[in-house]
Amino acid sequence: MISLEVVLSPALLHLTDVKGSNVVVIDILRATSTICTAIHEGAESVRAVMSPAEALALKAEGYVTAAERDGAKLEGFDMGNSPFECMNGAVKGKRIALTTTNGTKCIEAVAHAGARNVLSGSFLNLEVLSEWLIADNQRVVMLCAGWKDSVNLEDTLFAGALGSLIVQKTACFVDCDAALMSMDLYACAKDNLTEYLKKSSHYIRLSHLHHEEDMRYCLQHSVIQEITGLLDGEMKKM
């Protein structure tokens, strides 16, 4: 039986042993949605790195460099953190070195913690991700990236969406209040996710930065069929 656990912030990750678990890293707006999109658009891999300097250093090895802080693209990089920058052949066959405010730090944080798999979670590939996790039949830990360690709505809602799908489809064990909370919140929000999220802090932040189109894109359900996860230290098609 699959057990489900939700970690609402990276600052709570130390309370959960991820060893042997399938860890889904969730940064809906936008890092993990962008990673899924990059792989879907034919990128060879996305390497999550901690600092802009690390990303830049990988340019010499042929990586496309991508960096975002506080919602904005950093100067001097090939890309920021928008899924649209991955489209129209821009990343086909490329390796990308990506650093973002929240999401890539979470991937890095769990990369060496003995997880069975580290997967990129997004509404874009929600359905196939749920099926993959059910087929693998192991404990699932959903790690919400949040905003600078604060809990946020959109990542919590995705955890609820994924948890709810798995619970509907297979026998589950849920002894985690954060998982129960996220599933009940998703039930409140699912009929109009975009409208619901308009009150959230990060939606407001990204709106000020004119990223509405990114948000509408990232909140689409199950339009991508690839599973993205860590293989040899980089996020790749599983």
Provide the binding-site residues for its own copies, judged by CB under 8 A.
8-9, 11-12, 15, 147-153, 156, 175-178, 180-181, 184-185, 187-189, 199-202, 204
Adjacent-strand bridge partners of 172: 2
Query: Please, is 195 exposed, middle or buried when counting C-beta atoms within 10 Å of its C-beta (0-12, 13-18, 19+)?
Result: exposed
Q: How far is the CB of 149 from its own copies (least distance, A)?
A: 6
Adjacent-strand bridge partners of 150: 147
Residue 121 or 160: which CB sits closer to its own copies? 160
Q: How far is the CB of 74 from its own copies (least distance, A)?
A: 24
Q: How far is the CB of 235 from its own copies (least distance, A)?
A: 26
The CA distance from 117 to 73, in Å, is: 29
Residue 128 or 181: which CB sits closer to its own copies? 181
Contact 164, 4 (CB under 8 A): no
Residue 125 or 200: which CB sits closer to its own copies? 200
Half-sphere exposure for 83 (CA within 13 Å, toward CB) = 28
Residue 90 or 180: which CB sits closer to its own copies? 180
Half-sphere exposure for 45 (CA within 13 Å, toward CB) = 16
Q: Structure tokens of 114?
A: 């003995």
Q: How far is the CB of 196 from its own copies (least distance, A)?
A: 9
Q: How far is the CB of 159 from its own copies (least distance, A)?
A: 12
Residue 177 or 213: which CB sits closer to its own copies? 177
DSSP assignment of 106-152: HHHHHHTTT-SEEEEE-GGGHHHHHHHHHHHTS-EEEEE-TBTTB--
